[in-house]
Amino acid sequence: MKISFLASHGGSSAREIIAAIQTHKLTGFEIGILITNNKTTTIYPWCLENAIEVMHISGETHPDNEDAAIKQALLAAGTDIVVLSGYMKKIGAATLTVFKDKILNIHPSLLPKHGGHKMYGDFVHAAVLTAKEKQSGASVQVINAVYDAGPVLLQGQVPVLADDTVATLGARVRAIEAELYINALKKWQENDFKG
């Protein structure tokens, strides 16, 4: 199964998953392409340095057909499954249709709590603290056309401590994300893409 990635920033999850494939911690997957909508991000040169095929596709490079360009690049790479690694743009209809039920995302809360449009990163952790939750964590989901509304594949929990700040809670959640994503991919693989 060939796995490709969409990333907007540092692509930390993508790096961890690529490392897991290269060290055979995650077997049965090959690396396809990494697409970023931000060529100035650190993941772009990292891919070049590590012989990972990388492409910059954004509204700047494809103002009229960004979605179609992403879909075509994923297909050209022979992609079976797409992993979002901090990708900050909504996936377009053409890509969603071709890769229906084959695009995974990780969200830094226990969905369905604290999901939705503009709920990402520190905004999520702040909402968790404001709600005085006792537990938080991360959720790997199969995405659809609505932000954070797709079926959850796997979740990992962390405690919310009495003295937590957005930074400390965020760090605790990020610490479990890579392993959770890798385990979700194993689960996905065992289910043979049936979700």
What is the distance between the alpha carbons of residues 83 and 97, in angstroms, rounded to a whole number?
A: 16
Q: Do 25 and 182 meet the contact criterion of CB atoms below 8 Å apart?
A: yes
Q: Is 24 a catalytic residue?
A: no
For residue 171, how many C-alpha atoms fall within 13 Å in the half-sphere facing its CB?
5
Residue of 24, 56, 107, 114 with catalytic role: 107
Q: Helix H segments across the chain?
A: 12-22, 43-49, 66-76, 93-98, 121-130, 166-190
What is the distance between the alpha carbons of residues 28 and 30, in angstroms, rounded to a whole number?
A: 7
Burial of 79 (0-12, 13-18, 19+ CB in 10 A): buried
Residue of 146, 138, 153 lying closest to 107 (CA atoms): 138
Q: Give the residue numbers annotated as catalytic, written as ranges.
A: 107
